[in-house]
Structure 1
Amino acid sequence: MQNPSAPIYGKKPTTGIPVPGQLQANHPGTWSTGLFDCCYDVPNCFITWFCPCITFGRIAEIVDQGTPSCCASGALYFLIQAFTGCGFIYSSFYRTKIRKQYNLSESASGDCLLHLCCGSCALCQEYRELKHRGFDMSIGWKGNMEKNQNKGIAMAPEVQGGMTR
């Protein structure tokens, strides 16, 4: 059965223009998609499966508001995973940050265990959550802030008063 709160791949939400930080989930405290709804975003599913450091880097850049960059976060995740096999610990901290930032529910198993057992699914869910909250994950934090500055309400220029002495 299809998750009613999950978008069909390729279709945009019809709830209006989302703004970063605006709650997009149907119910406060719930994730906008399920943990195993990876195929709702097929390109990200493939990227996460074959190179999770890219997805993680994009998530970390948005969550940390641009500091550090996507590349730095992704490289650190890759190094931790390659040399210790414990990248799941690092990525679970970001899941916790997302949950606290958007007041989302925690799984019964906890963030660390979730990333240990279902790391790719957890990264995909976090990526989709940020995407549903209005972030364009491909342009990073700075790109999203610039894009949203241009969405302001257009106002007529202020009229200057006449000459005075």
Structure 2
Amino acid sequence: MQQPTNEKNAAPAYEAQAPAHPASVPAGAPGMSAGFAPSAYGQQPQMQQVQQGQPREWSTGLCSCGDNCGEFCLSWWCPCMGYSRYKSRLEALQQTGAPLPADDVPNCAAPGVLYLAVHCLSGFGFIFDFMARTDIRKRYNIDGSAFGDCCTACCCIPCVQGQNSRELRREEDAFRARMQAGQYGQGPGPDQTMQMQAQKPMAYPPASA
């Protein structure tokens, strides 16, 4: 018997993690295991059970460093700080389902100090980027392998850090858009959004505007 695909309060068919919920993900978007399908004209979304699709590609290219030159320069001259910043943002999404405020993103948190120590003593700091990249791929159902992540991180640390950061930013921007829409009565408010955070993070970020 086929499960209904538009049912309120439907239980997800997987072990949930803390999510951010995109404001513009279409119902049944490929790559989503479950999520919110906002209806037109700002109506409240309903839970949908969506069959998991095939892994997708990264939303930006590995060499799209021009999208944020400051971020690239930081990773080039001080990769421990670049890692500390995006790793802290990733941990916030994993633990709370909400993005870390921009002013609270640390330049030198514990992950960055550990990165610096390993990078200076052995030159193998890229291992941390490799592990974070694998976590990000799994979070968003991105195609690839651990071997590929390791080789990519080893070859170009600034490129990998930039691509990892941009992928996280898409989820952060989608979450903030959802919160802003709630403030103007166009979607769920902050309390409702927090209740949504018991569901799985989006596996297919919305297309760029």
TM over 0.5: yes
Determine the C-alpha separation between the residues in 2 that align with 1:87 and 1:21: 32
Render the CA deviation track for 1:103-162: whole Å, top value 9, x for unaligned. Answer: 112269611111111111111111111112225xxxxxxxx9xx789647357xxxxxxx
Instruction: Indicate whether 1:94 and 2:121 are aligned.
Output: no
Matched with 1:59 is 86
Instruction: Indicate whether 1:81 and 2:108 are aligned.
Output: no
Does the aligned pair in 2 maintain the 1:21–1:134 contact within 8 Å? Answer: no
Q: How many pairs were matched up?
A: 127
SS of equivalent to 1:110 = helix
Structure 2, unpaired ranges of 5+: 1-18, 32-55, 96-104, 186-209
Matched with 2:155 is 117
Instruction: Indicate whether 1:37 and 2:75 are aligned.
Output: no
- Which amino acid counterpart does residue 33 of structure 1 have in structure 2? T
Structure 1, unpaired ranges of 5+: 1-18, 136-143, 156-165
Does the aligned pair in 2 maintain the 1:23–1:102 contact within 8 Å? Answer: no
SS of equivalent to 1:134 = helix
TM-score relative to the length of structure 1: 0.63
TM-score relative to the length of structure 2: 0.51
Does the aligned pair in 1 maintain the 2:22–2:178 contact within 8 Å? Answer: no
Does the aligned pair in 2 maintain the 1:24–1:32 contact within 8 Å? Answer: no
Bigger relative contact order, structure 1 or 2 (CA pairs below 8 A, ≥6 apart) = 2
Does the aligned pair in 1 maintain the 2:60–2:166 contact within 8 Å? Answer: yes
Determine the C-alpha separation between the residues in 1 that align with 2:23 and 2:79: 26
With over 3 angstroms needed to count, the CA separation of the structure-2 counterparts of 1:77 and 1:116, relative to structure 1, is same
Render the CA deviation track for 1:11-59: whole Å, top value 9, x for unaligned. Answer: xxxxxxxx94539899852211100111111111111111111111112
Alpha-carbon RMSD across the aligned residues, in angstroms, is 3.4
Which of 142, 149, 152 is matched with 1:104 structurally? 142
With over 3 angstroms needed to count, the CA separation of the structure-2 counterparts of 1:111 and 1:23, relative to structure 1, is farther
- The share of aligned pairs that are identical, in percent, is 30
